[in-house]
Amino acid sequence: MTQQLVNAIALGSIYTLFSLGLTLSWGILNVLNLAHGAIFTAGTMFAFLLTEHAAGLPFAVVLAAALVGSALLAVLMEAVAFAPIRARSGNALDAEMRTLIASVAVASIIVTVVGIQSDHQPYALPQSLLERHRYDVLGVHVSNVQILVLVAAIVLSALLVLFVRRSRYGRAMRAVAFDRTAAGMVGISARTLQLAAMALSGALAGVAGVLLAVYLGAADAHMGDSFLLKAFAIIILAGVGSLEGAVFFAYALALVETLVGYYLGGDVRDALAFVLIVVILVLRPQGLAARQGWQRA
């Protein structure tokens, strides 16, 4: 049982990093970004290419490069696709639907490029990048990679919550999310903040991708797909925009999945996440921890 708790915490940490980026772009930009999983995958490819062409770089440098690469990719996506679509849409619902479809197209392009680049085969970051160590503590196996993933999730979640709640930019983002026009009237540049939100979202996806590739031992072009579905489950359970809710439900879903996977088998594990979505949508459509949107986070 203790071993399963360790496994659940590691998995929940990856879910957390992935879900926070998605809820950020959804909460601020009203973009349900289905390309978030593709950016997550692109992050692993940035890291892989860097280690291929510059062997011997420290892990922190590779992680930082993937973070920057993923952030830039997300900004590019926002500037080239999402922002123009929002500008040309008649109302918020139209904009949300159109950007949703655009994000499917962008995801497809990114996944195809990563697939071609990897020759449609799994690829792994060099083992020398982060030597794996396994510690046996009272019969429980814990690895340095699991500890790293947990620390990254705690630190980045805390920083994001502090940024959103306490910083001037965070408050400005909330203002833009609440009423873009009114925010503009008081001198807040919605355009800049939207780009910043996408960059932050992309950076989180890139970090999550690299950490997952290290944790699993390999990555492939489609690795973001299954996490995207899990992130939907988490955000629906938490309610769109609830950062603390996303963190809580990321770990809760991971725990339930881990216990179900261990005791009942992998066959029913994934189905459970979607049974939960349906139940929550029926009983409480706004999510279990929703607080009326990201703007009030």
Partner 1 sequence: MRHRARTATCLLAASVAILTAACGSSGSSGGSAAGDVLKITYIADTSGPGAFYGKDYVAGAKYAVDQVNAEGGVGGRKLDLEVVDSASDQQAAVGAMTKAVKSNSSAVLYALLSQNALAMAPIAQRSKVPFIVGQSGVDGITEAGDYVYRTTTSEGRFYEAMLSTLHDKGASSTAILYASDNPTAVTNATKTIPAIAKKLGMTITETVPVKTADTDYSQPASRIADSSPDVVADLTFGPAVTTSIQALREAGFDGPLYGTSALGAGALKPAGAAAKDTYYPSVFIPSPKLPWASGTSFLSEYQKATGSAPSFSAAGGHDQVMFLVAALQEIGKGDVTHESVKDALASVAGKGFVGATGEPVRFVDRAAVTPGVLVRWDGEAETVAPDQPSPLLAAYTGRG
Shortest CB 240 distance to partner 1, Å: 6
Shortest CB 167 distance to partner 1, Å: 26
Nearest residue (CB) to partner 1, 159 versus 279: 279
Nearest residue (CB) to partner 1, 116 versus 162: 116
Residues near partner 1, by CB under 8 A: 3-4, 7, 10-11, 32, 34, 92-93, 96-97, 100-101, 104, 107-108, 115, 119-124, 127, 132, 134, 136, 141, 143, 146, 212, 216-220, 222-223, 225-229, 232, 235-236, 240, 257-258, 261-262, 265-267, 269-270, 277, 281, 285-286, 290, 293
* CA 6 to each of CA 64, 138, 139, 167: distance values in angstroms, whole numbers, following the listed order: 26, 13, 12, 33
DSSP state of 139: T
Nearest residue (CB) to partner 1, 49 versus 68: 49
Nearest residue (CB) to partner 1, 115 versus 170: 115
Shortest CB 61 distance to partner 1, Å: 21
- Asked if residue 146 lies in contact with residue 240, where contact means CB atoms within 8 angstroms, the answer is no
* CA 14 to each of CA 100, 132, 170, 246: distance values in angstroms, whole numbers, following the listed order: 24, 17, 23, 12
Shortest CB 171 distance to partner 1, Å: 21
Shortest CB 77 distance to partner 1, Å: 16
H/E element, 18: helix 2-29
User: 60-83 b/e with 16+ CB inside 10 Å = b?
Assistant: eebbbbbbbbbbebbbebbeebbb
DSSP state of 143: E
Shortest CB 28 distance to partner 1, Å: 14
**Close Cβ partners of 34 (under 8 Å, ≥ 6 residues apart):** 100, 103, 104, 107, 228
Nearest residue (CB) to partner 1, 46 versus 48: 48
Residue 284, token pair as written in the block:
């409480």
Of 29, 20, 26, 290, nearest to 180 by C-alpha is 29
Nearest residue (CB) to partner 1, 72 versus 255: 255
Shortest CB 168 distance to partner 1, Å: 26
Nearest residue (CB) to partner 1, 4 versus 117: 4
Q: What's the number of CA atoms in the CB half-sphere (13 Å) around residue 170? A: 13
Three-class SS state of 136: strand
